[in-house]
């Protein structure tokens, strides 16, 4: 897997690069992180926050280069709203979420139920629910709980599993899928 590189430049300057990359080529999938270099690799996060009502629709990487300003915006969007704290979201998690979205082949935005959580928030949630892990990857900015209104938990989890990277938790009763960049594993029903 190529080394993650983060570049700094304004989003306006990427419009030309993005247009040239995406118009001329269709992405070719290769397991976990989506695309082959030079094949028009434009990775995007499109989400709606169930908690804040905020929306985000942003390209965060082009041809394997991560855009720091976009990563910062996504990290703010996925912040712990209870503590109003931001932690940089791991790009590997973003890549799994983006690849899953592309495999599902929908233009619908994900619904974000939970992104980053402070330890304090995680401990509070853990006291209320046995489903919250003590060592949750949400605390390290490496996990997200997401859903789609037009797709089932089973469909989203199947697509995420096909990425062959990280953890995929099915929470059918609560209607969301947990995706993280930790070790490969699947749980839930």
Q: Give me the pLDDT at residue 35, please.
A: 37
Q: Give me the pLDDT at residue 3, please.
A: 52
Mean pLDDT of 135-142: 93
Model confidence over 152-181: pLDDT tens digits?
999 999 999 998 889 999 999 999 999 999
- Of 4 and 125, more confident: 125
Give the pLDDT band of residue 24 (cuts 50, 70, 90). Answer: very low
Rounded CA separation 158/180 (Å): 14
- Give yes or no for a contact between 91 and 5, defined as CB atoms under 8 angstroms apart: no
Rounded CA separation 81/61 (Å): 25
Average pLDDT, the chain: 83
Residue at token pair 């897997």? 1
**Domains in the chain: boundaries:** 5-188
| CATH number belonging to domain 5-188 | 3.30.1380.10
Burial of 31 (0-12, 13-18, 19+ CB in 10 A): exposed
User: Torsion angle of alpha carbons 47, 139, 96, 185, nearest 10°?
Assistant: -130
Please give the full DSSP string across 32-94, using - where no structure is assigned. TT-B-TTS--EEEEEEEETTT--EEEEEEEETTEEEHHHHHHHHHHTSBTTTTB--PPPHHHH
pTM to 2 decimal places: 0.78
Q: Give me the pLDDT at residue 64, please.
A: 86
Cα torsion angle, 13, 58, 135, 155, sign:
negative
Burial of 13 (0-12, 13-18, 19+ CB in 10 A): exposed
Percent of the chain with pLDDT over 70: 79
Tokens of 162: 């096909």
């Amino acid at each position: 897997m190529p080394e993650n590189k983060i570049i700094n430049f304004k989003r306006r300057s990427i419009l030309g690069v993005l247009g040239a990359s995406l118009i001329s080529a269709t992405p070719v999938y290769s397991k976990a992180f989506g695309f082959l270099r030079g094949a028009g690799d434009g990775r995007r996060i499109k989400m709606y926050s169930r908690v804040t009502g905020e929306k985000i629709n942003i390209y965060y990487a082009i041809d394997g280069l991560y855009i720091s300003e976009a990563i910062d915006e996504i990290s703010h969007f996925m912040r712990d709203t209870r503590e109003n704290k931001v932690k940089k979201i791991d790009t590997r998690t973003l890549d799994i979420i983006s690849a899953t979205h592309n495999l599902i082949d929908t233009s619908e935005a994900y619904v974000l139920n939970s992104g980053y959580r402070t330890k304090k928030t995680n401990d509070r949630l853990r006291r209320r629910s046995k489903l919250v892990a003590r060592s949750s990857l949400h605390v390290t900015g490496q996990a997200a709980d997401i859903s789609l209104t037009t797709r089932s938990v089973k469909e989203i989890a199947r697509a995420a599993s096909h990425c062959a990277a990280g953890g995929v938790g099915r929470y059918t009763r609560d209607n969301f899928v947990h995706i993280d960049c930790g070790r490969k594993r699947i749980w839930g029903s």
